[in-house]
Structure 1
Amino acid sequence: MKRFSLFILLGTLLICQNVFAQVSFSVQPPTRVYEGDRFPITFRLSNADGSDLSVSQINGCTLLYGPSVSQRQSYQVTNGKAVSSSSVEYTYYYKAGKAGQYTIPAASVMADGKRYSTKAVSFTIHESADRDKPASQRPVDVDDVDTQTAGRRVNSDDVFVRIILSKSSAYEQEAIGCTIKLYTKYSISSFMPTKQPSFDGCLIQELDVQPSLNEMETYNGQNYMTAVLKRCIIFPQKSGKLTINSGNYDISVVQYDNVNMGMFQVRQPREAKIKVSSNTGSLNILPLPQPQPDGFTGAVGSFSIDSRMVGNTFRTNDPATLIYTIKGTGNIKYVKEPEIDFPTEFEQYTPKSDIQTEVHGNEVSGSMTVEYTFVPQSVGDFSIGSDKFVYFNPQTKQYVTLTTPAYSIKVAKGLSTPVSAEQKDVENKNSDIRHIHLGEKNPQQAHILVVTKGWYWGLYAGLLVLTVALIVINRRQTKLSADVTGRRTAKASKVAKRRLKAAEAFMKAGNSEKFYEEMLRALWGYLSDKLSMPVSQLSRENISSTLASKGYSEESTAGLVEVLDDCEMARYTPDSSSRMDNVYEKGVNVINNLENCKR
């Protein structure tokens, strides 16, 4: 019976996973096509069953047959989390016409009661004469290794990084999706960010991504392998023109030499190192309309609010709870807690908040639950006033005011805490008149002045020394508090070792991705604190030069750069878990060496 229940539970989890999986409909354009070639175009529907497929003809190309339908399903358990996905592919086969630029019109399909559409995608048909040209004279093609010869100059349209924004204009606090994506026609052997893009004037919510070159995309009529390097949701904090500064990357691409082996030729891979900078993103942020209504605290989006009182009876000295729940889409993580007008006869505790969010596309949805605990101190009839929640809706460009009901409660007398017999006895003794001590009849003869005692002057001198010491310590502490750079430098090692403990936990759990991410965070954070420089300004060049100027040895500097390279390469190298012990040990040693280095 238990085994049967387990199967039912597992089936329910699979069903729920499929229900909440994200449905998408996309098109896969053809790779390099020449005049007269036969080529496929595939439309893929993920995590849903489709019907009523609508596909338009490609002008200038001849449809041979289609669609050919194929289905795929996969189920995977990673770290105890079940992931189930499915896809349906519709493939059409065409015959290429004359050379030129062509467009695949948008297609649509019905799935789960909703119609999904693809975007129009362009591709290029090349002249048949280009097929016979030497590889060095043909444009670099992601599927043509012959065009990726060693020594060939890597152009800016062969490998580049794009900052893609979901919108170019928005209001303050309105959510904007940002994707940083790598486009390449070459295979990548190593990828090292030397400067991350900066988001000045914005709060960001980063999303988990696993960079891998596993998607083909057509951009400006050319095919590229792509990898999403970073995804985040931006919440601009001020109006005006905001700029997302570009990032810098050191990339090693793979090119090939043709080596003559006598009877045959083999391709020998060669690495070519290039430097790539992303584009600069620009945002036009509109100010929120003025005047702002009373009660507006910065919530932007679309929300609803609800409140409820826990319990029906109220007594003095008994705690009660009022719960507010705000749900919606927008900057829910940065919404301020409502301020409730409680009667002065109520003792209030610090509100307890719980925020749950999830990302759908370029929007953040979720809820914020706030629990207000209060204790009535007096008997009588009381009213907890209604509250209003004001937010700005960027879709309607208007402020919306939501109100919650007022609560009328009747407080009865609760149980009083009894006073123990011991407490009463102490109170009675403290209230009695104490006995008067008469002392000696001749105090001038029986007592000696304290100032004539040696211990008095010893105590006086000790207090003087203690006072001077406290003044010196206080001045030193004030100086250290003002020296922000010095404090960060002094604490750099402690902060780094705490982060290394987190990396060690991921290493023991066998989670290589989180391990290398935590190692990089520990090392970059350590360098930022040690050198008093923001992480965004750190690079291998200024790390080496700055450490050298501070008197650190070249051996320590080289070891640090080597660990950074190992971590970055491992993030984009499959089966890197076997090197975690070595990388961790090197990271601990290099920090200890820098701390113990005599300058």
Structure 2
Amino acid sequence: MQNRLIYILFIFTSVISYGQINFSVTPDKTDYNGKEVINLTIVLEMNGSEYNQQTPLRLPDLSKFNIIGSGSVNNGFMDPETNTVVTQTVTRLALEPKQKGKVKIGSVLVTINNRIYKTEPFDVFIKDIEKKAVASNVSKDVYLNMEIEDKDVYQDQATFAVLKVYSKNMDNLRKVKNINLPEQENIDVHPVSFVKSEIDPSGYGNMASQILAVFMVFPNEAGYVEVPGVSASVNTFSKNNHIVSNKVKLNVKKLPEGSPECFKNAVGNFNVSILNASKEKVEVKKPINVVVRVTGEGNISDMELPKIAASPDYEIFAPKITSNVAAGTTGMKGEILANYVIIPKKAGEIAIKTDQFAFFNPANKEYVDLGQQTLALNAFSHDQILESRTTVEKVNEYTNNLLETVNTPVLKTTSFKVKEKSKFHWNILLTNIAILIGLFIVYLLFKTWQKKRTLIRETVPSKPLGSVAETEKEIRERLKTDVSDYFGYLENLKDNGDYQKFFQTVDELDSEVRNQYFQSSAEDFRNFLESYKGAAIAEEYRNLSQKIQIEKYAPVKSADGIDELLKAIVNLYSQISK
């Protein structure tokens, strides 16, 4: 009988444990200082496959806190003892208190199988609150907020940061300018976009919000890394006010052990190649260009590039680095070219090798060793180069040497040097004849027009001097700049990627247009535009000047951003020069 009772008790225990729900909220502690962050752990565990979670977790009223971070993890496994399916959801919340004293945190709700489950409320005690002065000189409802979604990354792995501005008055959003990204030794920051988003009228706390900038952060050391706040200025009619966003802490994971000896700090997914950029035959003691090309996505802008290994067969000079990268989905994406000058020291087979290169792929969580890249070259001596030339090439070389060394004052014979493998082009001759005929026709048309103008000048009486205003208008028309010439030149510079010359030409265009209206400084020109062209044109000129400065000093320039900037320049200066 006693055995039967024990057996029945075991059956009831297994039935009870077979299907049950555990739902709880646990803080890391109950007493906090004002500077400390409250970490809440919400655990929802469902034992049994018959349970269906119908709603997401519904948080209590957290208006007395700032939610500075959140994340959740879902786990599912089979319990071997009870042979039941266990589904577990763990959610973490990081809260920043707004007030001190005893604060109550309510219940978290969830609906499972048409039944509402809730956690027990509890109290936390906040000792002191650190008051933050955010744009206190401007408006108490204008502040910046930096958001980083992925705060758990590897060392040298990219994470995206979004800068938002919040205000109860939408008019204050357009006054935020001069955004300065954070700078710190243990992080590398690269901008992604400074294009403002559409204004969201229903942001956090019933305030309007707008995205001001998106940038990438690469922490270069493990541990807890604090990203400093982003600063900006709020321009008012009286003065400029300085505001700073919040700081964000990152949990930077140390890279796994077992890295190859050749691993430096490359994190991402990369490929390395080496090629000979010189088209001529490789000759001993003559320089050639060898390019080491690194492509991929990751911390390509900040990592240590593979170098060409030293060898007694050749001499190496410091490379010229060319970068062509842009923002990708998991880091900076593009290519970096290291152009080396190599001088072979011996004739015959020469193997130019790079240093061994390895990188860590955070997607696969493994190291990839690419080893060495080798470029095989066959170097020739000077005598071998001469022997390999054809008879015509030798005759051309002897002729060029003669014309270079013998030069009379009557006839400059160096202009008759024979080029290698040159031939007579009939197309060039016909093109030159057509150009000469066209110039002759233009000359005849010019002479005819000049004669007609002389006859008109003789018949038309002289005009009166006119008033001072008319004279000023006439002088301005004479000094009027043809901005269309600048537009075509800027288009060519944009297509060629010569951004330095592009911004120099934009400054020349602005100076020419200001001189046309007798304005020496940009501030005086804005006042002039507001008086004679309207406040809208003056405001557009002010905004365009700021965009030009942002793009000019941006470390990474995108083709789309330059194209949008050129369209804005053409639109504005066309209106000003009407």
Length-normalised TM-score, structure 1: 0.39
Larger strand percent: 1
Q: TM-score, normalised by structure 2?
A: 0.40
Higher relative contact order (CA 8 A, sep 6+): 1
